Structure 1
Amino acid sequence: MGADHEGWVFFDRGLIDAALALVHASGDPVAELLCREHRYHREVFLTPPWPEIYRQDADRRHDIASALDKYERLLAAYPRLGYNVVILPKAPIEDRAAFLLERLGA
């Protein structure tokens, strides 16, 4: 996935997110197995749904209530799977980028 790349590689939705969605939809406990076999960096950055700018479109078909529900599930599940969740601030893009770089020691 990015193991051959030098430097940071970011994923917008990864294998763990997909596995957690499957757990939610079917009850299949696949997330624990995948987390043991396919580890990401221990810090996971989550961006809360931002109601002030949230818009549904062809790519974002879920409403804000669904987005908040999914966010809460991820927020609870990642620590159970051994990850440290870092919440990105509701701030302009430049500020969020600076926050990430500072947090990663870049």
Structure 2
Amino acid sequence: MHDNFVLLSGCSGGGKSTLLAELRARGHHVVEEPGRRIVCEELAGDQKALPWVDPAAFARRAIEMTLADRQAARALSGWVFFDRGLIDAASALDAVTGDDALKRLCAAHRYHRRVFMAPPWPEIYVTDGERQHEFEASLVEYQRLATAIPALGYEAVTLPKTSAIARADFVLSTLSCGTI
């Protein structure tokens, strides 16, 4: 278990990436969302593992990328903030295939006991070339994660709907003033 690995999860378009940018600006280590990286790679390639083409292939790639990200982050000290992670990818694979990847993988690869959840926030939600699903699909995703995270023994902490600066203050305060 890596107590310094902090997961930001929750609703698509809920401000996780903006929060991550603020945490990076404050000198913390961050790991970008696997899903967006995969979509960029796939759009430049054969496009077979796009989430709207083959959701299972996309989720499997996200699991592989997340495991590689975690391995690379082992060498980092201090807080390491992940924009989505293994729980997100494995729960997506479970949802589309019925595979029990969630419990199997997530038991062996833990994050800090508190997982920060970006709640649905329709006022800031936008689609783009990498996020093509509508807000309603984000709500389904959020509900799936809101159920999975506590079931895996984590404390789900809902992020306030406020500025990235205030959110970063909230996260660091919740993590005991930013110390490990």
TM class by smaller structure: over 0.9
Q: Does 1:53 align with 2:124?
A: yes
Where does structure 1 differ by over 6 angstroms across 4 or more consecutive aligned residues? Answer: none
* TM-score, scaled to structure 2: 0.57
Which residue of the partner structure matches residue 77 of structure 2? 6
Q: Which amino acid in structure 2 is aligned with residue 99 of structure 1?
A: F
Aligned partners of 2:154 and 2:145: how far apart in 1?
A: 11
Unaligned 5+ runs, structure 1? none
Residues 50-73 of structure 1: CA deviation (Å, up to 9, x unaligned) = 101111111111110000110011
Q: Which amino acid in structure 2 is aligned with residue 27 of structure 1?
A: G
Q: Does 1:95 align with 2:157?
A: no
Shift of 1:87: 0.5
Report the identity percentage: 51
The residue correspondences of 1:33-72 to structure 2 (distance < 5 A) are: 33-72=104-143
Shift of 1:18: 0.3
Aligned partners of 1:13 and 1:81: how far apart in 2?
A: 15
Unaligned 5+ runs, structure 2? 1-69
Higher RCO (CA < 8 A, seq sep 6+): 2
Question: How many residue pairs are counted as aligned between the two chains?
Answer: 106
Q: Which structure dedicates a bigger proportion of its chain to strand?
A: 2
